[in-house]
Amino acid sequence: DKRSLRSEVRTLQNTVQELRGSIRVFCRIRPPKQKADASGAFGVKAEGSRSVCLRKPPGERRHDFNFDRVFSQQAGQRELYEEVGPLLPGILEGIHLCIFAYGQTGLGAGKTYTLAGQRSSGDPGIQDLAIADLLRLAESFEVRLTALEIYNESIQDDLLSDATSEAESRDERLEVRQSAGAISDVADLHPAQDGTGANSADANQTGSSKYSPFGSMRVPGLKSWSIQNLADVEDALQRVRNKRHVASTALNERSSRSHTVISLSVLRRSGAEVNGVPVGVLHIVDLAGSERTKISQAEGIQMKEANCINRSLSALADVLFALGDSTSSAHVPYRNSKLTYLLQDALGGPGCKTFLFAQVSPDALDANESYSTLTFASRVATSVQKGRLRPRGAVPSPSPRKSPQREEMTWKGPG
Ligand code: ADP
Ligand code: MG
């Protein structure tokens, strides 16, 4: 009958998603900012749907990189979303999906564009498309949003919109804790049942929802926003933007120097209370731009920022390498950064899916930066693809080392 057919289709779809792997690495090439150089020889070009070719001066040497899929400069947001959309029903069945946007700093490589789209021209990014679909699917569930920022390895709540000074932002620093149970004390910023409908959020921080978007990892005091419709999402994201705007004027373009994590948790309703473990979670992470410190010659606070960023990005790569290589014995070094520590329950493990969108500019002038990004992301892609070919639970092909070791796994940085 129809019902069993539907469930068979669903099972088949799940199998297809399973075969495509838990970690997928994509490359997106943004439209050029400059006119191509006279010969058109340098810069990044898509070669078919899975490879990218980079020719960088001097010498015009050719470098090739492979990904799960490459999106050329003509690709629209909906084309990218084709990769994400099919996984959303799974979030109601327990999937934890992490979407990362990665790219070099200072280029406008398109991280934020890919996730958040272009507001002025009504061109939604994959974050907006995913949230809209999730809301449609999760009608009978409670959906909650949290937003936080990791700057210089310290965590701040992005839904608290009133941090105006550096001193205040220091005070609201949050910690990550690991708990035995998966229940946390996420404070309720916008209770669903207050009836007033108003987002007079600051007036009501006394809600009773207890859950953590991060599984057994919790961030005590983190505020959550109840999402009923797209207007609620817009309110929440507007708060996040306000906060970022204040922070960026106070602290010199800080928004691109922090990782921002927006998490949408799907929870079962039980009466008026929303308690327990989220069924599934969608995490959207706009990563800080990686930086080629050697050439930027940053000093002081900028040097500290750049080091924090590069260290946490290589910690992320290490985690993805280890997961891609996964054998039961492989050690996954989650503890080497706040980001991987926080997201450990969403990275790896059954029911976890991770998408990394590596963003590059095609311009010849950006070739060195693009080289760094492509090297970083394609190394993750390659390790993941090798792991995928291996039968589940099988021992990796003979190698002198038993499990991934740091020297081997650490991304040494550009140059
Ligand atoms: P990043 O977040 O990586 O620093 P942005 O996403 O802010 O970069 O992009 C910088 C500018 O380039 C923005 O104005 C953005 O709209 C534009 N842009 C980036 N990628 C694309 C794209 N694929 N198509 C159209 N415009 C883009
Ligand atoms: Mg950005």
Most ligand 1 atoms within 8 A of CB, residue of 30, 258, 356, 360 to mutate:
30
Instruction: State the burial class of residue 162 (Cβ atoms within 10 Å of its Cβ: 0-12, 13-18, 19+).
Output: exposed
What is the DSSP secondary-structure string of 353-370?
EEEEEEEE---GGGHHHH
Q: What is residue 261's three-state secondary structure? A: strand
Q: What mean pLDDT comes out for the span 70-78?
A: 95
| CB-CB neighbours of 271 under 10 Å | 7
Residue ranges lining ligand 1, Cβ < 6 Å: 30-31, 103, 108-113, 118, 256, 359
Nearest to 373 by CA among 365, 363, 384, 361: 361
pLDDT score at 150: 93
Q: Give the position of tokens 């149970």.
A: 181
Cα–Cα separations (whole angstroms), residue 131 to 89, 101, 181, 284: 12, 16, 27, 10
| 32 SS3 class | coil
Counting residues of the chain whose pLDDT is more than 90, the rounded percentage is: 44
Phi and psi (nearest 5°) for 91?
-65, -30
Atom of ligand 1 nearest to the CA of 75: 23
Residues 6+ apart with CB under 8 A from 272: 193
Q: What is the C-alpha to C-alpha distance for residues 58 and 100, in angstroms, rounded to an integer? A: 32
Q: Decide: 130 and 353 in contact? Cβ < 8 Å.
A: no
Atom of ligand 1 nearest to the CA of 29: 23
- Which of 113, 290, 372 has most ligand 1 atoms within 8 Å of its beta carbon, as the pocket-test mutant? 113
**Can you tell me which atom of ligand 1 is nearest the CA of 113?**
6
Residue 361 CA to ligand 1 center (angstroms) comes to: 10
Ligand nearest to the CA of 104: 1
pLDDT band at 52; cut points 50, 70, 90:
very high
Neighbours of 169 (CB within 10 A): 22
Alpha carbons 72 and 27: distance in angstroms, whole number: 8
- Per DSSP, 9 falls in state H
Lowest-confidence range among 18-27, 58-67, 382-391, 403-412? 403-412
Q: Flag whether pLDDT at 181 surpasses 70.
A: no
Structure confidence by residue, pLDDT tens digits, 290-330: 876 555 555 677 778 888 888 999 999 999 988 887 555 67
ipTM over 0.95: yes
Per-residue pLDDT at 409 exceeds 60: no
Average pLDDT over residues 159-182: 66
Largest CA distance in the chain: 68
Tokens matching residue 121: 């021209």
Percent of the chain residues past pLDDT 70, beyond the cut: 75
Residue 390 CB neighbour total at 10 angstroms? 14
- Nearest CA to 262 out of 223, 289, 228 is that of 223
Better pLDDT: 84 or 195: 84
- Using the mean position of ligand 1's atoms as its centre, give its distance from the Cα of residue 108 in Å: 5
The stretch 94-98 carries a mean pLDDT of 94
Amino acid found at 88: L
- Tell whether the model's pLDDT for residue 137 goes beyond 90: yes
Question: Which whole-number Å values give the CA distances from 224 to 95, 147, 186, in the listed order?
Answer: 20, 8, 6
Question: What pLDDT score does 204 carry?
Answer: 31
